[in-house]
Amino acid sequence: MSEKEKIDNQNTTNSNEKILKSQNIKNDNNNIPEGNHENIEELQVVTEPQPVKKPVKRRFEELDLARSFPLLLLPLVHTYEEMELLDALEFSLIKDYKWTLYLCTLMPSVFMLLMGANACFSSRTTPDLLIKRGCHLLVAGVLLNVYRFVIPSLIGTIFTGETEDTFGEYGSLYFVCTPDIYDFAGVAFILLGLLRKYNCSKFIIVLISLVMITIDTIIPQFTTKISFLDGFIGRFIYIDEDSCFPLFTWFAFVAIGYYVGNYYKNFVTEEIRKKFMIKTFFLSIIMVVGFYFVLDSYDEDPILIMTSPAHEYITDFTNVIMLTFFAGIWFSIMYFVYLKVKETSICKFLILISKDILFYYVTQWIIIGWLEYLCAYFVKETEYINHLIFWIIVIFTMAASTLVTYIASKNQTVKKIIMKCFFL
């Protein structure tokens, strides 16, 4: 067969195929309901199946597990702090149990970093909902101060007639004005919501938080000589040791958590998260070790620099960097622990407690607060709590708080009652 004949046959074949396609299209077109006819060319478009986009994961249980251990050990630090104020301890936690300082480095930074991360993990991420959530937490923080300080001090006043611990310059009413981590969370979410409302990017939010730390560092420490006013100002800038978690010095952790969380939530596969955690681990190790030896060379105690709650709650650039990377080591280690134990009962139990952090936190503080005021009113001795009594109090508080949290997580009626008590 000549070349020309081959070309003619090919053309004939192509022509026949076109005729068949045209007939098929007409037949299909006849099946289209009247009034819905479209252009013939559009019917010829063949759309390839699109890959199904995996939904963004809203709950990362490895992070809940990482938070559970610092959460469970909160009564240890809080019992020591409150009993130390009463001069009731016959020992020093820092000297006799120096390892607890590492808890102080983990607790606030882990909680606040996850506070920021959860602001983008949660479905309640719009600016208005963040502001509303912040207002609720602010009220909850004030109510917690009432339940743990004001009510037991009023009971003590009624039975003993002593009024100083309730109505004095630094009585329980004063501590209603001072911030705790839930008050801080409320103000932080309100600020984050406002920044989001004005379309600030996650990078700008981190930048603003670092400017806030700089401003707080520049402002000289002062007092208005009015305790209640100092307590209120202490919510925003550092005044004294009662300024627990002022906004300007601690918002950086929320901002950093929000920044990293926006990336982490889009890691749709375990393999991507694993690679991220490996990089986080080695980077954090290098940064913490590097800062440790630099500070040590200037005769500064690196542990005290990191442990701001044991160092007058002062937070600055050095403190934020060290605490953030120290938390990075913890998160990455706990990620790989989670992969190994995620199907175990103990892991599921710890995650359950961590998810319902509110119930554990408020219960342990109410127990410790009431115990503090009972001791203040009815025990006039000093240094009456030895090692054994201290650990009995700590273990009892941990067990009771865990039990309340577990019951609340399983019983919706109990959960609603507690939530209503805090207007949540």
Give the pLDDT score at 386: 87
- Please write the tens of the pLDDT for every residue from 411-420: 999 889 988 8
Q: Is the pLDDT of residue 262 over 70?
A: yes
Instruction: Supply 334's token pair.
Output: 């706990």
- Which band of pLDDT confidence, cut at 50, 70 and 90, is reported for residue 12? low
Indicate whether 13 belongs to any domain: no
- Cβ burial, residue 194 (10 Å; 0-12/13-18/19+): middle
Q: Residue 323: what residue type?
A: L
Tell me how far apart the alpha carbons of residues 37 and 161 are, in angstroms, rounded to a whole number.
Answer: 90
CB 180 within 8 A of CB 362: no
| This model's pTM is above 0.75 | yes
Give the pLDDT score at 206: 95
Q: Is the pLDDT of residue 377 over 70?
A: yes
Tell me how far apart the alpha carbons of residues 202 and 196 are, in angstroms, rounded to a whole number.
Answer: 9
Find the mean pLDDT for residues 199-212: 94
Tell me how far apart the alpha carbons of residues 261 and 56 are, in angstroms, rounded to a whole number.
Answer: 12
Instruction: Supply 92's token pair.
Output: 């020093």
- Which band of pLDDT confidence, cut at 50, 70 and 90, is reported for residue 1? low
Indicate whether 163 belongs to any domain: yes
Residue 68 exposure: Cα atoms within 13 Å on the Cβ side:
23
CB 190 within 8 A of CB 197: no
Number of structural domains, the chain? 1
Q: Is the pLDDT of residue 283 over 90?
A: yes
Indicate whether 25 belongs to any domain: no
Look up the domain containing 250 and give its range.
61-421
Give the pLDDT score at 40: 41
Q: How far apart are the first and last CA of the chain?
A: 88
Q: Is the pLDDT of residue 404 over 90?
A: yes
Kindly list the distances between the CA atom of residue 348 and the CA atoms of 108, 248, 326, 339, in Å, as whole numbers in the listed order.
23, 36, 25, 12
Give the pLDDT score at 382: 74
Indicate whether 40 belongs to any domain: no
Tell me how far apart the alpha carbons of residues 370 and 373 are, in angstroms, rounded to a whole number.
Answer: 5
- Name residues whose C-beta falls within 8 Å of residue 79's C-beta, 6 or more positions apart in sequence: 368, 390, 393, 394, 397
Highest-pLDDT range among 23-37, 73-87, 209-223, 326-340: 326-340
Give the pLDDT score at 343: 93
Tell me how far apart the alpha carbons of residues 170 and 173 are, in angstroms, rounded to a whole number.
Answer: 8
Find the mean pLDDT for residues 273-299: 91
